[in-house]
Chain A
């Protein structure tokens, strides 16, 4: 999508995303200084995003898209941490793969590395407070974050390219028809995969997850 976002939108989204990236770098640095042993787990969160955003999966709409993988890191390290991690992944794809794009980096950061992770974190906390099980909370957080990322993309494009007749709303529905609908089965896949990796982490690192206050006491023993 390189060059497909008008320049004022490209600049605007970059300005909107920059403070989150700065906040994320600070929060990640502080965490690593206080708990150096969490460095590896942070690597896992980044690696998960790396894998999932490389998986272009077919969808029921007849087109392909990829998951984002940001829910895992957001639940583990808080939502801000995913902004710099997302920036690394998006830069890799923009520079080497001509996928995404440098001019759309700000907009993509905002949808994938800011809206998605904040949604994941909020949904996870809410689901836990509503006494949903750990697996269900993780599933909802990861899959809805994935979906909301693409809803945000649709909003961004509709804002830049309002329909000449129907304006923003009609345009949004059209873009959402491409991105959000395609994303539904992919979002479910991402939710399931995030539960799988959390199961593995909780099985072998229960103490670490408990220290990070991700796992409650009862689940950690299971």
Chain B
């Protein structure tokens, strides 16, 4: 039940991420924005905000530059992928060990139960013997 709920939830997340790609209208290939640059979609919201700052206060100059910038977009996506992989790897490790712990615990309980049953039936037999004797 819970398993299916998780599956449905994950499916909803995938849909939420995929729908915009389909819903947002693509700009015409030769469309230009106010500054004469080609219109792009699915750029970062940060970039849009920087544009807006430029519009509100055209005189504003950023007063600090990033110390280290990824050499290219490819390198940037490498680092983002690394960040996600590190996080997901740790979560996977934790869940994996939790599953194993739970399984071992259950097996141990089963064995303890079995041993108890065995000793109980032994006691029973001994009782019978005593009675017979």
Q: Does B56 contact A (CB under 8 A)?
A: yes
Q: Are B44 and A56 in contact (CB under 8 A)?
A: yes
Q: Does A22 contact B (CB under 8 A)?
A: no
Least distance between B4 CB and chain A CB atoms (Å): 11
C-beta contact mask, B42-54 vs A, less than 8 Å → 1, else 0? 1111111110110
Q: Are A97 and B20 in contact (CB under 8 A)?
A: no
Q: Are B80 and A97 in contact (CB under 8 A)?
A: yes
How many chain A residues sit at the interface, stated as a range, is: 35 or more
Using A60-B20, A199-B2 as known contacts, say yes or no to A3 and B56 having CB atoms under 8 A apart.
no
Q: Are A178 and B9 in contact (CB under 8 A)?
A: no
C-beta contact mask, A88-108 vs B, less than 8 Å → 1, else 0? 000011111111011100000
Q: Does B19 contact A (CB under 8 A)?
A: yes
- Number of B residues contacting the other chain (C-beta, 8 Å)? 56
Least distance between A216 CB and chain B CB atoms (Å): 16
Contact of B16 among A185, A199, A201 (CB under 8 A): A185
Q: Are B23 and A4 in contact (CB under 8 A)?
A: no
Contact of A98 among B12, B60, B70 (CB under 8 A): B70
Q: Are A3 and B5 in contact (CB under 8 A)?
A: no
Partner-contacting stretch, out of B29-37, B81-89, B113-121, B125-133: B81-89
